Amino acid sequence: MESMFIAFIILLLVIYYLGLGVWVFAGLLLVSTTGLVFLIDMPMDRIGKIMAPLVIRSATSWEISAIPMFIWMGELMLRTDMSDRLFRGLSPLTYHLPGRLLHTNIAGSALFAAISGSSAATTATVGKITISELGKRGYSKSLTYGSLAGAGSLGLLIPPAIVMIVYGVLAEVSIARLFAAGVFPGVMIAALYSGYVIIISVLHSSVAPPDRDKPGLKDAAIGLLNLIPIALLIFIVLGSIYSGLATPSEAAAVGVVATLVMIILTGQFTRDVFFGTLVSAVQTSCMIAVILIAAAFLSTAMGFLHVPQDVAKAIGAMNLSPYALIVILAVFYVLLGMFLEGISITVMSLPITLPLILAAGFDPIWFGIFLVIMVELAQITPPIGFNLFIIQGLTGTPIMKIAVAATPFFVLMCIGVVLLTVFPEIALWLPNTLFDK
């Protein structure tokens, strides 16, 4: 009977969400309601009574307020010249590395990720600048597209990250700790990407042809000046969190104010910029809020159906070691990433996977970073890889050609997962140091 319950829930997920292609929140609500009605014969009026408090609790959590603020910051950056400053600032600083300006994709994505918290915004913003500039200079298109697809996904890992906030709310763990835990893994993966670009550039010099104009010390100084506003925003947001002066939600609000002040001081503030970015942020935030509500209902429905307990018993009966469990979950998340985007993966899987992880003795903060990297892999995994679609929209290149270019960076991210699993302190050292004093 237990296996029939699990099989039916999986079938509902496939039919209602993947098969019909309905909106994420609608698919989750359909799965939850259908399961409760047909599997345990729950009356609709009771389902309504269960749903009502979930709507209030899930959409009005204080931690959730950070999401629209960080999204608004990213929108403001996207529609002003702060994104251009990234390329102008990084270009002279990366010239002397093998691969030269290809590193602007990686370093630019890492820096913008520390402000936007969004993979899509990071890829789109950096890509709008670097793709055309690198193309004009004759850089390898394959390495340009692949490095951008891989590095753009850092928007989910380098704090502040929206998926981390969603995970923190659902898993009931400290979002500030999650932010701190994402710093070193994000730097590690960025370093793996840059190392790969350096190796390929040394072996095949044609992928990064030399520029005619060699930047000097003056150019490097100007580059650093261009990076000051972005560095200042990162310092304000993350510094206020790690110093204990502000919660993530408060720091997000401070970050928005700081961004608006910078835009005003640089003469870029207009009515269209203000209201355009505000409307976009509200639309995206509402989408995330309804998904969180539906996810909370799904989690509750699974509790009534005993799905997490049944899955836990089934996997427990296999007598898997902790590392074997991680391997199975990694494969599971890679498969999910072929069809779902990051927030959907998180909210749909967590009611099942988190109890298993806790039972196996893993730290929930560590698992949050593991899950975010798995979600990052989904961003560059066809057929539904959002970073791939963004690059396709920017270049017109066939999606599979971009996917092939991103494959080495997919492998590098998998190596990052292995290192994180073998050496969990990569993620846990900083939050333990900052918050366990």
Splitting the chain (437 residues) into consecutive groups of 10 residues, what average pLDDT does each group show? 53 51 68 77 82 74 74 80 77 84 88 76 79 86 93 84 86 90 94 95 88 75 85 85 80 88 89 90 78 73 69 70 90 77 77 86 95 87 78 85 93 95 95 82
Token pair for 387: 């970073």
Are 398 and 145 within 8 A, CB to CB?
no
Q: Give the model's pLDDT for residue 4.
A: 47
What is the C-alpha to C-alpha distance for residues 54 and 36, in angstroms, rounded to an integer? Answer: 16
Q: Give the model's pLDDT for residue 203.
A: 93
Q: Give the model's pLDDT for residue 173.
A: 92
Q: What share of the chain is helix, strand, coil (3-state, %, to 5)?
A: 80, 0, 20
Are 288 and 166 within 8 A, CB to CB?
yes
Question: Which residues lie closer than 8 Å to 60 by C-beta, 6 or more apart?
Answer: none
353: amino acid identity, one letter: T
Q: Give the model's pLDDT for residue 181.
A: 94
Q: Give the model's pLDDT for residue 392.
A: 85
